[in-house]
Amino acid sequence: MAAFLSIQGLRKSFGAHEVLKGVDLDVRKGEVVALIGPSGSGKSTLLRCVNQLERFQAGRVTLDDELIGYEERHTRHGPVLRAVSVRELNRQRADIGMVFQHFNLFPHMTALENIVEAPVRVRGFARDRAENEALDLLARVGLAGREGAYPRALSGGQQQRVAIARALAMKPKLMLFDEPTSALDPEVIGEVLAVMADVACGGMTMLVVTHEWGFARELADSIVFFDQGQIVEMGTPQQLFEEPLHQRTRDFVRGRVYI
Amino acid sequence: MILATLSPPPAAVTSPLQARPHPWRWVSGAVLLLGLAWLGTVLARSPGLQWSVVAQYLGSRTILLGLWATLWLTCVSILLGFALGTGLAMARLSRNPVLQGAAWVYIWFFRSVPLLVLILFAFNIAYLVPQISIGLSGRAPLLSMATNDLLTPMGAALLALVLHEAAYAAEVVRGGILAVDQGQFEAAMALGLSPRATMTRIILPQAMRAIIPAAGNQLIGLLKGTSMVSVIAVGDLLYSAQSVYSRTFQVVPLLIVVTIWYVACTSLLSLGQYYIERHFAQGALRQLRPMAWQRLRARFGPASVEA
């Protein structure tokens, strides 16, 4: 089956430090891919390159046969990829939901307002419709009745569930999760993972940077082991955790050496 | 042998606890109060103060017209100053190096020049640009006016105040924007919000929390700063008082009239600031602190009042 999300030859440096050293990754439609690896290995940067929160120096990202962030131009010197306009980029970003480690809810808006903002402003939905859908989403993430709460009044787990609802409200083609449970107290991690499982079962294509191996093992279709800016190996949870091919993967999986 | 003195019994667990006495606090407090009382009597009794004259002019037409001019100048220049300042802040934060540089130079220059000097410059701008014309170069202008006709003293005052205020407002707004967490920009971008919507809906409302206290300072500073326009004969509060005492020589009473009005306006502005800050604190605090009068009522009022 053809790739739905395709990352090819991605290179990214911060100054002299190369964080991504040519990454290729294909994700099928409806597939859940977990990215694991040591801290500082470039997993989050890879995720942020997909929706262009980070610009990269080489490579390309396509989603549903559409090049993200660039368009092909033909010049005298041959074809080039030129960055698209902000308006065009925003149209593409609207199709890619993102959930952050620190939730990044808008603190001056209620849970409902957080969810409704982008569907109304970006998608142009009528406010009634957006609010009804937002209430449904809140119920789906187990927060019915909390629509009037400001983020500060919610626990970390609740905030993250609102953040997931906010991303889903845009009806994205792809969801990116950047260490969604790393900032949470252990007792509320479960509720966020349950919501993510629900989203995964709904057929959403998901790319998840995580340290939650339980989640990766249970719900991911494939696991990518990432180290020093490169994909070391990729496989099913069974392969990667039980019979890793590479020594580095073996060390990581057995020793659980992450900081 | 019999002990001549009985040692007192040791303190028991149940012995009462006592706060440490602070006699010097009472002494210093009393000295300060006495000093203030003395100052008060001196001021009240001083014949030079002429409280009756103060009362006579406090609500007089001349002074009220001057007060109106001061308030008008303050309002218009704070609004235009912050509008221009917000633009300058955006320019400083933009990715365009020319815009950045231009905004930096503007802020550097207009923060360096004293307001009084700026006012005098604006007043004398006709020396610099005697004629203002609109049209294509090399042809007869479509519209041409003498600068002095276009720019009245009031116009010159406004120009100087706005240019000066914008430089400070730019830094206040920029500081507010920088105080907003980077994650907020990222969340807005990831949702596909346009740069304009990101600014007006997400960033500025949060930046307001940091902007308001500094803007309050600016506003109060500006209110008092407008008194400098009296040097170019703009009829503000101070100039009106000066026009009276140049006739009557009641300098001190009229300066007291001016002081009373400035203090009254500043107090009102501080109060307004308090309520605006509360408005923008929404969502930033788990629970809003009860307002000052609510705290007083909770402490001294009937028990039924909710805290």
| A9 CA to centre of own chain | 19
What is the structure's pLDDT at B307?
38
| pLDDT, average across residues B32-36 | 97
Greater confidence, B294 or B22?
B22
Q: Which are the contacts of B290, defined by CB distance < 8 A and separation ≥ 6? A: B298, B307
Q: Which of B96, B184, B191, B193 is best to mutate for the A interface (most A CBs within 10 A)? A: B191
Beta-carbon contacts of B19 under 8 Å, excluding residues fewer than 6 positions away, are: none
Q: What pLDDT does residue A26 have?
A: 96
Which candidate from B186, B192, B205 shows the least CB-CB separation from A100? B186
Cα distances from B98 to residues B84, B94, B107, B112, B174, in angstroms, run 17, 9, 14, 21, 17
pLDDT at B298: 74
* Position A158 in a domain: yes
pLDDT, one tens digit per residue, over B50-67 is 888 899 999 999 999 999
Is residue B188 very low, low, confident or very high in pLDDT (cuts 50, 70, 90)? very high
Determine whether the interchain pair A96/B194 forms a contact, defined as Cβ–Cβ distance below 8 Å.
no
The answer to whether residue A178 sits within a structural domain is no
Give the pLDDT mean for A5-23. 94
The pLDDT tens digits of the residues spanning B243-279 come to 999 999 999 899 999 999 999 999 999 999 888 888 8
Average pLDDT score over residue span A123-139: 96
**pLDDT of B282 higher than 80:** no
Of B183, B192, B195, the CB nearest to A102: B183
* B193 with A152: Cβ contact below 8 A: no
Q: What is the mean pLDDT of residues B143-150?
A: 72
Q: Does any domain span residue A146?
A: yes
| B92 exposure class (CB count in 10 Å sphere: 0-12, 13-18, 19+) | buried
Residue-level pLDDT at B215: 93
- Distance between CA A163 and CA A149 in Å, rounded? 13
Which residues neighbour A187 within 8 Å (Cβ) at sequence distance 6 or greater?
Answer: none
CA distance A253 to chain B (A): 31
Look at residue B173 and tell me whether its pLDDT is greater than 80.
yes
Chains A and B form CB pairs within 8 A to the count of 78
Residue A140 lies in a domain: yes
Residue A218 is predicted with a pLDDT of 86
User: Residue A232 domain-assigned?
Assistant: no
Structure tokens at B226: 């407008």
- Residue B5: pLDDT band (50, 70, 90) is low
Prediction pTM value? 0.80
Closest CA to A210 of A196, A231, A198, A199: A196
Nearest-5° angle of CA A82, CA A85, CA A87?
Answer: 150
Residue A210's nearest CA partner among A63, A62, A47 is A47
pLDDT of B139 above 80: no
Q: What span, in angstroms and rounded, lies between the C-alpha atoms of B79 and B102?
A: 22
Can you tell me the mean pLDDT for B138-153?
74
Domains and CATH numbers, chain B: 51-129+143-283 (1.10.3720.10)
Q: Work out the percent of chain A whose per-residue pLDDT is above 90.
A: 83
Q: What is the pLDDT of residue B84?
A: 96
A71-85, A133-147, A245-259, B109-123: least confident range:
A245-259
Give me the pLDDT at residue A2, please.
78
pLDDT score for A229: 93
A109 near B CB under 8 A: yes
Residue A253 touches chain B, beta carbons under 8 Å: no
- Does residue A10 have a pLDDT over 50? yes
**Total of domains in chain A:** 1
**Nearest Cα to Cα of residue A166 among A200, A201, A130, A193:** A130
- The span from the CA of B208 to the CA of B12, in Å, is 57
Residue B280 neighbours by CB distance under 10 Å: 17
Does residue A118 fall inside a structural domain? yes
Mean pLDDT of all residues belonging to chain B: 88
Structural domain contains residue A180:
no
Instruction: Give tens-digit pLDDT for A47-103.
Output: 999 999 999 999 999 999 999 999 999 989 889 999 999 999 999 999 999 999 999
Q: What is the distance between the alpha carbons of residues B247 and B162, in angstroms, rounded to a whole number?
A: 32
pLDDT in tens, A183-223: 999 899 999 999 999 999 999 999 999 988 888 888 899 99
**What is the predicted pLDDT for the residue at B286?**
56
Cβ A152–B283 below 8 Å, yes or no? Answer: yes
> pLDDT class for B130, splitting at 50, 70, 90?
confident
**Cβ(B82)–Cβ(B169) below 8 Å:** yes
- Per-residue pLDDT at A21 exceeds 90: yes
Phi/psi region, residue B153 (left: phi>0; alpha: psi -120 to 50; beta: rest), is alpha
User: Over 70: is that where the pLDDT of A147 sits?
Assistant: yes
Longest dimension (CA), chain A: 60
Q: Which amino acid is at A198?
A: D
The more confidently predicted of residues B9 and B160 is B160
Sign of the Cα torsion B88, B91, B97, B99 reads: negative
The contacts of residue A113 (CB under 8 Å, 6+ apart) are: A106
Minimum-distance CB partner of B192 among A105, A122, A151: A122
Q: Give residue A258's pLDDT.
A: 46
Q: Which two tokens stand for residue B223?
A: 């209110």
Helix H or strand E segment including A35: strand A32-36
- DSSP label at residue A96: E
Residue % of chain B over a pLDDT of 90? 62
Does residue B3 register a pLDDT over 60? no
Nearest-CB residue to B283 (from A86, A102, A109):
A109
* Residue B196 CB contacts under 8 Å (≥ 6 apart), including other chains: none
Residue A162 domain boundaries: 109-171
Length of chain B: 307
DSSP assignment of B47-111 equals: TTT-HHHHHHHHT-HHHHHHHHHHHHHHHHHHHHHHHHHHHHHHHHHSS-HHHHHHHHHHHHHHH
Which pairing describes strands A174-178 and A96-99: parallel, antiparallel, or unpaired? parallel
pLDDT, residue B304, reads: 46
pLDDT-derived band at B2 (thresholds 50, 70, 90) equals low
Q: Is residue A115 part of a domain?
A: yes
User: Given phi > 0 = left and psi -120 to 50 = alpha, else beta, which region is A124?
Assistant: left
A151 touches chain B (CB under 8 A): yes
Alpha-carbon torsion (A137, A141, A145, A146), positive or negative: negative
HSE-up of B110 (CA within 13 Å, CB side)? 24
